[in-house]
Amino acid sequence: MFPIFLKLEGRRCLVVGAGTVAEGKIRSLLRAGALVQVVAPEAVARVKEWALDGTINWMARGFESNDLDGVFLVIAATSSPELNAQIFSQAGTKNVLCNSVDDPEHCHFYYPAVVNRGDLQIAISTNGRSPALAQRLRQELEEQFGPEYEAWLKELGAARDQLTAKKVALEPRRKLLHELASREAFANRNEALRAGDPLAATGAVFLVGAGPGDPELLTLKAAKAIRSADVVLHDELVSAEILRLIPPTSQVINVGRRSGKKSAGQDEINRLLVQHALMGLQVVRLKGGDPFIFGRGGEELQALREAGLHVEVVPGITAAMGAAAAVQIPLTHRDVSSTLIFVTGSSKQQDQIANLPDRIPSNATVVVYMPGSDLASLSARLRSSGVAAETPCAIIVSATRESERVHVTTVANLAASPDLPAPRLLVVGEVVRLADAALLLRQFGELSVSAESFEVRSSTTETAE
């Protein structure tokens, strides 16, 4: 036998007979959208009702050979085996599929036992050998595949439509759809529904700022999201102390992007976020600093919105604020700095050395995220933008962590700075002179301060270093 599922919508189908058995066959054809014609001298009450309201076309007479003209298939459901056999024979000559009820020898196809859960249909056939066995198997499968499968299949279909509309590449789309249809995804969805989670059908994604590294600088909301996550996708720069807050039952995925190291591309990160959320999981995208300050949070937000997912943004202390606070450099000050500029030394425009304005005011503080290793070019770019050569700079490494280091110099001597490890952040401006000199020397030692001399003022005294 060749197992297929036929599309009968809009097709003419004939049922000969209108008794109780025929009623069930007519109902199944109507459910499939067929145009049903019934031929029988008499009919049970339900068949008469369908005829009266126009659901079917009933001709109250005996079968005639031309009733098969233009018909896609016919069901012979009369009480006469001889008539059923005659209908089968004539259907064969007109290339019309025929099923004679309870007569396997006069059938082109059999009715399977069906488990019906909306668009999910499981059909069982014994090739006509034992309808009783088919019925028993159907009952067992109905217990195994409950009514909840109908809603789940609708969700899977919606996810497939979304991925197709976004023109996701074939292989990633195939992989994702198989994961969404997994037993694990179904279990997670049902567990969330039982817990009364309104977002259970699709899960949710939290874009969480982890701050500069010190776990005590996490917001309460960020800590709560981390501790309740099913899946955490984190950057390379998120500190080990913060990662230890993730529950041991959570899936942890490092998607960090580091210079010189292979890392997940942004498209792959977006795909993973969408994938796990569609599985009904609570997903935390954990980013160093703040998600929306050079953290590609905007790109991820856009991808999640396009997938129709619930997204919540949990801001964090951005690296500039955490680093400056750690060494007590005020980023603004009424006496020396009323302008604050954030730029990054890493961008899609690789030919640019930091995306600096063409003209930087003398009262500005410039913070360069990821300043890179070409400090000579960065120094020249600052000076061409109007920053004086004697303007102080602070390179802050691993801000707020135990491994934190600070190197203080000037724009002119920036290129002579030691080769410091990532993560680095550069603060440029007169505010650097307001750092607490005693704090710098006490915490980082004399070698952390450049041999270039310039005045460093504390809040109470002025000392020359």
The CATH number assigned to the domain holding 54 equals 3.40.50.720
Residue 169, both tokens: 């590449």
Both 404 and 384 in one domain: the answer is yes
Both 403 and 339 in one domain: the answer is yes
Residue 161 has pLDDT above 90, yes or no: no
Both 332 and 281 in one domain: the answer is no
* pTM flag (> 0.85): no
Confidence of residue 447 (pLDDT cuts 50, 70, 90): very low
Domain with 84 in it: 12-111
Q: Is 120 within a domain?
A: no
Both 238 and 357 in one domain: the answer is no
195-230 pLDDT, tens digit each: 655 445 567 899 999 999 999 999 999 999 999 898
Q: Is 7 within a domain?
A: no
Both 107 and 184 in one domain: the answer is no
Structural domain ending residue among the three candidates 111, 142, 157 = 111
Q: Which of 18-27, 88-97, 108-117, 198-207 is least confident?
A: 198-207
Residue 421 has pLDDT above 90, yes or no: no
Q: Is 454 within a domain?
A: yes
Confidence of residue 95 (pLDDT cuts 50, 70, 90): very high
Both 182 and 236 in one domain: the answer is yes
253-265 pLDDT, tens digit each: 999 865 445 567 8
230-240 as b/e: b if 16+ CB within 10 A: bbbbbbebbbe
Confidence of residue 176 (pLDDT cuts 50, 70, 90): confident
Q: Is 386 within a domain?
A: yes
With a pLDDT cut of 90, the percent of the chain lying above it is 52
Q: Give the per-residue pLDDT at 448.
A: 44
Structural domain ending residue among the three candidates 68, 83, 111 = 111
Q: How high does pLDDT run on average in the chain? A: 85
Contacts of 272 (CB under 8 A, 6+ apart): 233, 253, 255, 264
What CATH number did the domain enclosing 296 receive? 3.40.1010.10
Average pLDDT of the residues in 104-121: 89
Average pLDDT of the residues in 176-197: 74
Domain count of the chain?
3
Q: Is 457 within a domain?
A: yes
Both 308 and 345 in one domain: the answer is no
Average pLDDT of the residues in 132-161: 87
Structural domain ending residue among the three candidates 111, 129, 155 = 111
376-382: Cβ within 8 A, 24+ apart: 376/414, 376/415, 377/353, 378/345, 378/353, 378/354, 378/414, 378/426, 379/411, 379/412, 379/414, 379/415, 380/353, 381/353, 381/354, 381/356, 382/356, 382/411, 382/414, 382/428
Average pLDDT of the residues in 275-282: 82
229-251 pLDDT, tens digit each: 989 999 988 999 999 999 888 88
Contacts of 292 (CB under 8 A, 6+ apart): 298, 313, 315
Both 310 and 329 in one domain: the answer is no
Q: Is 149 within a domain?
A: no
Q: Is 55 within a domain?
A: yes
Both 371 and 441 in one domain: the answer is yes
Q: Name which residue leads in pLDDT, 167 or 229.
A: 229
Both 231 and 245 in one domain: the answer is yes
What is the C-alpha to C-alpha distance for residues 243 and 241, in angstroms, rounded to an integer? Answer: 6
Q: Is 80 within a domain?
A: yes
Both 310 and 324 in one domain: the answer is no
Both 326 and 210 in one domain: the answer is no
What CATH number did the domain enclosing 414 receive? 3.30.950.10
